[in-house]
Amino acid sequence: MKSNKLYTIFLLLIASVNVAAQDSVKLSMQEVFTAIDKSYPQLQYYDAKIASIRSLVDGAKAWMPPTVSLAFDRFPYRLSLIKEMMPDNQAGMMVSVQQMIPNAAKLNAKKDYLGSLENVQRNDAEWQRNTLHFAARLYYYRRFIAENKLKTIQQYRDLLKILIQTAKDKYTYNQSDLPAIFKGEAALSELENMETMSLAQIAESNIGLNTLMSRDVNAPFAIDTLLLPVDYRADYLMVNDTSALLRNDILSMESRIRSMKFNQKWAATGSRPDFGVQISHGQMFGMPNQFSIMGMMTIPIVPWSSKMYKSDVR
């Protein structure tokens, strides 16, 4: 019984320490950014998409698999003639191996196009990351402002209570009037309303930040109270500032245009021929064994075939 009680007390102490540690968690703005980059699902989607494109690029220059054929060649309808050794007996077993050799220009154009898709996804991911960081910074500063406003409200409310109590004491001796007391109580009610609004703003900011960090929306944490707000207005006054041209949404659009050009170039290589080779061996029954080597070349410029790649280019 004593050991059970000691074990229960020990568990309660651990739980209280964990709760206190959770309440004392302090997150800086950079730590919030790091948590968003690590756990936000949309950013994980872009990372997986980039890894998928890299895998496609690795296999962009792959060839078609070889084709193996097995055939019963030139067998007579009178199967009894197969056993006769005569020139007319040309029956045999044919084994063929065929390999198509794609045009190198097509493979290079395909690899360039697939490689360009990675820049599109990377710029989209950076734009999404910047958007999430902006939302996190907005929530963070809102909570910072609301907490400082609460401190000011508390100080002002304490001072106002003292003034109201002093006015009431003076009213007993006809040294103060009722309108001043009522005005002070109205100001006190207004402070309570401002305090409620600030608490709601803090709660809203907590929910927003926890959502961005993929945490429980009610998870408590503290923020950095030594923030130094930066004035960015000076950046917009720079005449030769070209940083706006490096925005990830603009870079993403440029990457998409470049990718479409690579895609058009890849489609245009459809006019180039592919090559192939076929090697056959004949295990003849009535004649000596035979072999054949055949080269092949596609002709994609014929009218009924060129429509496909020409439409893609257009």
pLDDT at residue 159, as a whole number: 84
> Which amino acid appears at position 206 of this protein?
N
Query: Where residue 103 falls among pLDDT bands split at 50, 70, 90?
Result: very high
Handedness of CA 209, 212, 218, 220 (dihedral sign): negative
Residue among 162, 167, 165 nearest 178 (CA): 167
**pLDDT over threshold 50, residue 170:** yes
**pLDDT over threshold 60, residue 31:** yes
Percent share of the chain, pLDDT over 90: 49
Instruction: Tell which phi-psi region holds residue 199, choosing left (phi > 0), alpha (psi between -120 and 50) or beta.
Output: alpha
pLDDT at residue 173, as a whole number: 67
2-313 CATH, one of 3.90.1150.110, 3.20.20.60, 1.20.1600.10, 3.30.1130.10: 1.20.1600.10
pLDDT at residue 247, as a whole number: 81
pLDDT at residue 232, as a whole number: 63
**Which tens digit of pLDDT belongs to each residue from 38-47?**
999 999 999 9
Q: Where are the domains of the chain?
A: 2-313
CB-based burial label for 255 (10 Å; 0-12, 13-18, 19+) = buried
pLDDT at residue 82, as a whole number: 74
**Which tens digit of pLDDT belongs to each residue from 232-260?**
666 555 555 555 557 888 888 999 999 99
Average pLDDT over residues 23-35: 84
**pLDDT over threshold 90, residue 97:** yes
pTM of the complete model: 0.70
Rounded Cα distance, 141 and 128, in Å: 20
Element (H, E) at 50: helix 41-58
**Which tens digit of pLDDT belongs to each residue from 201-228?**
999 999 999 999 989 988 898 888 777 7
**pLDDT over threshold 60, residue 261:** yes
